[in-house]
Amino acid sequence: MPSAGLEITGLTHSFGATRAVDDLDLMVGAGEIVGLVGRNGAGKTTTMRAVMGILRPDDGQIRWRQRRVTDPDRLRFGYMPEERGLYLQMGVLEQVAYFGRLHGMDRSWALRAARDLLRRLGLEGREGDKLVALSHGNQQRVQLAVALVHQPELLVLDEAFAGLDPSAVDTLSAVLRDEARRPSAVFFSSHQLEIVERLCDRVVILERGRVLASGTLAELQARTPRRLRVKVGGGARWIPTAAGVSVVEEDARGAVLALDAGVDAQVVLREALTAGPVETFAIEEGTLADVYRGLVSP
């Protein structure tokens, strides 16, 4: 487990009669990228807003480096909210530098950092333009620059990849990996599970304001039934009969079988061999999407 960065314990918050977050525990270590996934209304945004001090939770503790998080701590956090928003009539460089200064940088330092970052994000030559003159994708890059300009120790990105084109996704992925190397902690939510799977050291799945599961991808995969892909040749359609084995899907490449805990794959292999020549017999690694679908009821 990496050294303590952000620790959330017992976080609880309601909007009227609706409990958005319910006794939530979560940790993001220094140098770690943690992905938060869950359906709309699962409590992702509320958790992130509580971390950033935008809302005061009803209960629970948020700690940064083993101390209760304070406003000065938050100056070293970077934030990109789900609903993006910046001053449309303000110049790009001026705007990024302004947010840098709000985070405590002096003017010349902020301008230098803003210029470097805009170059890294592919916005060289657009520094003097008003934000409104930029395409939606480029406005997103400026939003990211605002979150990064002060070299935050913790980066909190809500729906980090929403609305990004593939090249912007690559840029942002590279930036997040660089940030985690510095070593800042990165904490982001996304509905794009394949990106979360590719980038994150750990994943936290939220459901109805609670942590449904969390861990590395391998740990999460271990919690779901093992899957086997089996193709039996000879033209006959084979359906397994062993207890604890079910067919998930079937196509030209064979059948995908889900095995309950404790079922021996060798038993399945022996049964398949009795039906005909086994052309394919492979353990299928479940994707995060599979894990998610396995855990979260529709």
Q: Which residues bind another protein (CB under 8 A)?
A: 13-16, 49-50, 52-57, 71-72, 74-75, 77, 79-81, 83-90, 98-99, 101-104, 143, 146
For every residue of 268-287, DSSP letters joined together read HHHHHHHHS-EEEEEEEPPP
CA distances 24 to 7, 20, 48, 219, Å, are 10, 10, 12, 20
- Minimum CB–partner distance for residue 142 and another protein (Å): 11
- Minimum CB–partner distance for residue 37 and another protein (Å): 21
- Quote the distance between the C-alpha of residue 255 and its chain's center: 31
Residue 88 or 283 having the CB closest to another protein:
88
In contact, 97 and 114? CB cutoff 8 Å: yes
- Minimum CB–partner distance for residue 154 and another protein (Å): 11
Q: What span, in angstroms and rounded, lies between the C-alpha atoms of 83 and 34?
A: 20
- Minimum CB–partner distance for residue 236 and another protein (Å): 58
For every residue of 140-174, DSSP letters joined together read HHHHHHHHHTT--SEEEETTTTTT--HHHHHHHHH
Residue 50 or 217 having the CB closest to another protein:
50
Q: Which residue has the tokens 């790009």?
A: 92
Residue 131 or 220 having the CB closest to another protein:
131
- Minimum CB–partner distance for residue 143 and another protein (Å): 8
Residue 13 or 126 having the CB closest to another protein:
13
Residue 162 or 296 having the CB closest to another protein:
162
